[in-house]
Structure 1
Amino acid sequence: MTAEMSGVDNVASFYEGLGQVLNIAWGENLHYGYWENDADDSTVDVATARLTDLLISMLDPAPGASVLDIGCGVGKPALQLVAARKTHVTGIDVSDVEVEQATERAARAGRSELATFRNADVMELPFGDDSFDGAWAVESLLHVPDRSRALAETARVLRPGGRLVIADTVERPPVGPEARAVLDEICAAYHVSAYATADEYSGLLTASGFVDIDIRDISDKVARTGMIMADAVEARREELARIDGPEPVDQYIGLMRRAAASPDIGYLVIAATLDPASGS
């Protein structure tokens, strides 16, 4: 087994273990929530759906467009996209368990013709050139060992002029020693390759042929996610510990509280367009 494949297997194991626990505590929209301001008392379900809506608006696919969902999880954002824009979504994930759950979710929603899911690695996509009109990666690229390769592969399967949207947790330099310790611990515990910065994403996207790069720091809108998620897990600690063991549950609670308190850890949403001249 290669080191790369071992990393993929580790990510899959995380989402098939603690990830399933988090789905129970947080909900199956397993990404950050978006709150408008301090007075916004929206539920987690509303806040996470609102973030997905923001990403849909940034991707802005036409009805019938083909979209690649990189790191689809259990498929809830993909199905929200399908419902909103009547697109054809192909979701990929490295976890067979999550692919099966996403497929079942699409079938229950009557969307199997518009949303399909399969096991695949973004660093080696099993699709031909110019296969998709758009793509998004919602909190998935942080697990990828080689983001440059992943973005190059994404560019290869996008048609010229295709849109890419990314949502990701990032570093906000300069990162102090306390935040660095938290980031290093998260990387080790949850198979995060490394946290990027806004400048790194800009450079990687440009190198892969993307133009019109729009990077938005929405850290203030999603900041309460960590504390709320930690509270949700802690409130069901005994139940969740029976599923995955007390140690990973307690570690998660502590890390999320520390990360949420750090101004050096932020959150970006990014939109970019594959250079329309790239196919000429």
Structure 2
Amino acid sequence: MAAEISDVGNVASFYEGLGQVLNIAWGENLHYGYWEDDADDSTVEAATARLTDLLISLLDPAPGAGVLDIGCGVGKPALQLVAARKARVTGITISDVEVKQATQRAAEAGRSDLTTFRNADVQDLPFDDDSFDGAWAVESLLHVPDRGRALAETARVLRPGGRLVIADTVQRPPLDAEARAVLDAFRTSYHVSAYATADEYRGLLTANGFVDIDIRDISDKVVRTGMIMADAVEARRDELARIDGPEPVDQYIGLMRRAAASPGIGYLVIAATRDPASTS
């Protein structure tokens, strides 16, 4: 992976363009949904909230704990975490538009006292050492060109013994030609870094001071997301195309359908602990 800071302008532009369209079509929990099995007919809202609940249970913050939300989007997962555990959440995003939206949503929910949102890059965090009790990154590290640097920074700002939870799309080798083509198309269109594997994540976490690493492949629980998301966007295609143009909307629909059919694309949830014996 490249060692330089990511081109945050391109990523921010994606979330301020097509990302806003997807918020309309999918909902403000702009991440994968979790369905228990083929018979589970949960709505998108329920399925995405269920995935957030899984991450909350893995993070397991005490009331009043300070949590860093890496790639907070418009703040929906952060507000769910606050409601469930009364944690104090600091959300970071590289989009000023999302900072404004997340701050507004927190105010509307009466949670401004427990939430703060600001523009920051995970590869160069503007926080002191040992600032947080926990952190999570929900489908955000895929945009970071130097995940090792991001994890080193996260470890630095976590207190020893602090918990980190990650949810991310990954590649599952061996990849056939179609899976490689889909991953390459996502990387090009949506400013995604190289897709990691489970082994690469384990190695990066170990190298950057994390222990008790628990990696769970829940691909079979979230695979329905691709087709449902494509259907949701296609159902409102003309309306959404007026916001961001027809080309990105149509491209997204096609890519999500191809991704949903590819066994080489998987989904992990990861929990790890900053080594309690470590020092910053």
Give structure 2 stretches of 5+ with no counterpart.
none
Distance 1:140 1:23 in 2: 16
* Identical positions, percent: 87
C-alpha separation in 2, matches of 1:88 and 1:54 = 19
CA deviation after TM superposition for structure 1 residue 194, in Å: 1.1
How big is the shift at 1:64? 0.5
Q: Aligned ranges for residues 256-271 of structure 1 at < 5 Å?
A: 256-271=256-271
Counting only pairs closer than 5 Å after superposition, residues 1-280 of structure 1 correspond to structure 2 as 7-279=7-279
Q: Distance in 2 between matches of 1:103 and 1:78?
A: 11
Instruction: Output the TM-score relative to the length of structure 1.
Output: 0.98
CA-to-aligned-CA distance 1:203-247 (integer Å, 9 cap, x gap)? 000000000000000000000000000000000000000000000
Cα separation, 2, equivalents of 1:31 and 1:57: 17
Mapped partners of 2:255, 2:179: distance in 1: 11
Calculate the aligned-residue CA RMSD, in Å. 1.1
Residue 257 of structure 1 deviates from its aligned partner by 0.2
| Shift in Å, 1:177 | 1.0
- 3-state SS of paired residue (1:279): coil
Give me the whole-angstrom Cα distance separating, in 1, the residues matched to 2:102 and 2:252.
Answer: 24
Number of residue pairs the alignment of both structures matches: 278
Give the drift of 1:4. Answer: 5.2
The CA deviation string for residues 125-146 of structure 1, in whole angstroms up to 9 with x for no partner, is 0000000000000000000010
CA displacement 1:183-207 (0-9 Å, x = unmatched): 0000000000111000000000000
AA at the equivalent of 1:250: D
Within 2, Cα distance between the matches of 1:243 and 1:5? 30
Q: For 1:220 and 1:115, locate their aligned partners in 2 and report how far apart those are by CA, in whole Å.
A: 33
User: Does the residue aligned with 1:154 lie in a helix, a strand or coil?
Assistant: helix
Runs of 4+ in 1 over 2 A off after TM superposition: 3-6
TM-score by length of 2: 0.98
Aligned-partner Cα distance in 2 for 1:62–1:105: 23
State the distance in 2 between where 1:4 and 1:75 align: 27
What SS is found at the alignment partner of 1:276? coil
Q: Secondary structure at the match of 1:175?
A: coil
CA distance in structure 1 between the partners assigned to 2:175 and 2:278 by the alignment: 36
- Counterpart amino acid of 1:94? I
